Structure 1
Amino acid sequence: MKYLIQVGMVVREREPGRRRDHYRAHQSSWFDAVASNLNVFERFEAGAGDGVEVFGAGTPVGDRLDEVRRFFAFLREEVPLLLAKWEAQNADQNAGRKGPGTS
Structure 2
Amino acid sequence: MRFVEQFALLLTDSGMPRMSARVFAYVLADDADRYTAQELSTGLRVSPAAISGAVRHLVRIGLLGREREPGARSDTYRVYDDDVWYAITMQRQDALDRSIRFLGEGVELLDQARPGARRVRETLEYYRFMRAELPAAMQRWRVRHDELFANPLGTPNQ
TM-score by length of 2: 0.51
Whose RCO is larger (CA < 8 A, sep 6+)? 1
Aligned residue type for 1:81: A
Q: Which runs of 5+ in 1 are unaligned?
A: none
Tell me the C-alpha RMSD between the 2 structures: 2.4
Residue in 1 that maps onto 2:127: 72
> What CA deviation, in whole Å up to 9, does each residue of 1:34-79 have, x standing for no partner?
2122122222222222222211222112111111111101110122
Say if 1:14 and 1:42 are closer, same or farther in 2 by CA, change over 3 A. Answer: closer
Say if 1:52 and 1:12 are closer, same or farther in 2 by CA, change over 3 A. Answer: same
Q: Report the number of matched residues.
A: 97
Aligned residue type for 2:87: D
Q: CA deviation at 1:84?
A: 1.1
Q: CA deviation at 1:10?
A: 2.5
Q: Compare the two structures and name the one with the higher strand fraction.
A: 1
Aligned residue type for 2:136: L
Superposed, which structure 2 residues align to 1:1-103 within 5 Å? 1-6=55-60, 7=62, 9-14=64-69, 16=71, 19=73, 21-26=75-80, 27-95=82-150, 97-98=151-152
Larger radius of gyration: 1
Q: Decide whether the 8 Å contact of 1:41 with 1:76 is kept in 2.
A: yes
TM-score by length of 1: 0.72
Question: Percent identity between the aligned chains?
Answer: 21
**Secondary structure class of the residue paired with 1:23:** strand
Q: CA deviation at 1:24?
A: 2.4
Q: Which runs of 5+ in 2 are unaligned?
A: 1-54, 154-158
Runs of 4+ in 1 over 6 A off after TM superposition: none
